[in-house]
Amino acid sequence: MRNIFLIAAAGLALVLPGASSQAQSSRYTAEGFSSYLPTLRARALAAGVSRRTVEEVFPTLEFSARTVELDQAQPGGTSGSTATPPFEPYRRQHVNAALIAGGQRRYQSNYSRLQEIGRRYGVEPSVLIAIYGHETSYGAITGNFDVLNSLASLAYEGRREDLFASEFVAALKMIERGVPRSRLKSSWAGAMGYPQFLPSVYLRLAVDGDGDGQANIWQSEPDAWASIANYFSKSGWKPNTPWGVAVSVPSDFNRAAVASRLRAPRCPRVFERHSRWMTIGEWRRMGMQLQSASWPRDSEMASLIEPDGPGRTAYLLTTNYRTILDYNCSNFYALSVGLLADAVKR
């Protein structure tokens, strides 16, 4: 499945576009947008959206120059540097006292409901809270862009036309499913609500968590938690297994001996930082020292990552870490979600 939160995280970030991005975005106009809409209309009809919905929505669409400006300010490639920044500054920003305290309050005050959701989907409840906190600061920052205007504008811009046109069509199908247009608010990139789902993900995975018959990820925390849990369950979360554990690596450790020789087809730069898979028992016999918590089962498979390099805290990562990466393919994101979840539950 396509990783959705690389877009969503960018959507909530503070972006300060420079002159070059403003010049590029000025190439796109309301007139050009209007000329593009028949293409989008034809795509919606071909995808099965009713003519009634199309006729109701399309006259209301407006070009969002700000959306295009923000998209143009995103990196379009690499700077040529292969250096990886340290994890510690990111960890301090995303696993801080305020996020931990806010997560603990929600975890404790909603304990029974979270446990019920956790049992239903087989997902650790503290991870649901950590995703919620990391994505939107527990609902404080969800975005206030009109979903349809933003997605249509991004499709017109054309850098990722197929992606955003498909998401636009999915948003129309949300309306046909009964979601009011007024509720369709998002980040500039179309990521919506507490879990920051794109419309296609909402259609597949959003669920009712509070029993009112709706999947309202914009206003209902239980709906958001259950939807995140459904996402993780469908992505292969393994019940009763930690995402990973912090370890100290022996000073004489032979890293070449555990290097992975596989190249991941998706997010290769993320996965190339991981060692090959070995059992926890094998890692223990190689001298890994546990820093906190407790060891997973000796038979559990894990890979090693040293996000700040040799001599600093390392982590043995289980398959559940890979599930967090499916939500957002970034080692720093996945590590901080795991660490925040551990702190919330503590």
- Read out DSSP for 97-158? HHHHHHHHHHHHHTHHHHHHHHHHHT--HHHHHHHHHHHHTTTT----EEHHHHHHHHHHH-
Better pLDDT: 17 or 290: 290
Do 149 and 272 fall within a single domain? Answer: no
Do 72 and 9 fall within a single domain? Answer: yes
Do 261 and 119 fall within a single domain? Answer: no
Domain of 21, in residue numbers: 5-76+143-191
pLDDT (0 to 100) of residue 73: 86
Do 44 and 123 fall within a single domain? Answer: no
Question: Has residue 204 been placed in a domain?
Answer: no
Least confident window among 13-22, 23-32, 108-117, 134-143: 13-22
Q: Could you tell me the pLDDT band of residue 8, with boundaries at 50, 70 and 90?
A: very low
Name all contacts of 92-100 with Cβ < 8 Å and 24+ positions apart. Answer: 94/134, 94/332, 94/336, 94/340, 95/336, 95/339, 95/340, 95/343, 99/133, 99/134, 99/137, 99/340, 100/340, 100/343, 100/344
Question: Has residue 104 been placed in a domain?
Answer: yes
Instruction: Tell which residue, 261, 304, 306, has the closest CA to residue 282.
Output: 304
Do 173 and 124 fall within a single domain? Answer: no
Do 11 and 58 fall within a single domain? Answer: yes
Q: Say whether 313 sits in a helix, a strand or coil.
A: coil
Do 70 and 186 fall within a single domain? Answer: yes
Q: Could you tell me the pLDDT band of residue 25, with boundaries at 50, 70 and 90?
A: low
User: Which letter does DSSP use for residue 259 in this model?
Assistant: B
Q: What is the DSSP string of 260-272?
A: -----SSSHHHHT
- Token pair in block for residue 18: 């420079």
Kindly list the distances between the CA atom of residue 3 and the CA atoms of 54, 164, 295, 325, in Å, as whole numbers in the listed order.
28, 14, 30, 9
pLDDT (0 to 100) of residue 252: 95
pLDDT (0 to 100) of residue 3: 46
Question: Has residue 346 been placed in a domain?
Answer: no
> Mean pLDDT across the chain, nearest whole number?
91
Residue with tokens 């998209």: 71
How far is the C-alpha of 134 from the C-alpha of 152, rounded, in Å? 27
Strand-pairing partners, residue 75, are none
Q: What is the amino acid identity at position 92? A: R
Stretch 216-226: mean pLDDT, rounded?
98
In the listed set 123, 156, 191, which residue is the last one of a domain according to the structure? 191
pLDDT (0 to 100) of residue 11: 39
Question: Has residue 343 been placed in a domain?
Answer: no
Stretch 74-79: mean pLDDT, rounded?
50
The model's pTM: 0.90
Do 151 and 24 fall within a single domain? Answer: yes
Do 71 and 157 fall within a single domain? Answer: yes
Do 154 and 130 fall within a single domain? Answer: no
Question: Has residue 170 been placed in a domain?
Answer: yes
For residues 125 and 117, the answer to whether their CB atoms sit within 8 Å is yes
Q: Number of structural domains, the chain?
A: 3
Question: Has residue 209 been placed in a domain?
Answer: no
Q: Could you tell me the pLDDT band of residue 27, with boundaries at 50, 70 and 90?
A: confident
Instruction: Tell which residue, 205, 23, 219, 60, has the closest CA to residue 147.
Output: 60
Strand-pairing partners, residue 290, are 247
Do 69 and 96 fall within a single domain? Answer: no
Question: Has residue 60 been placed in a domain?
Answer: yes
In the listed set 203, 234, 265, which residue is the last one of a domain according to the structure? 234
- Whether residue 216 has pLDDT greater than 60: yes
Better pLDDT: 43 or 293: 43
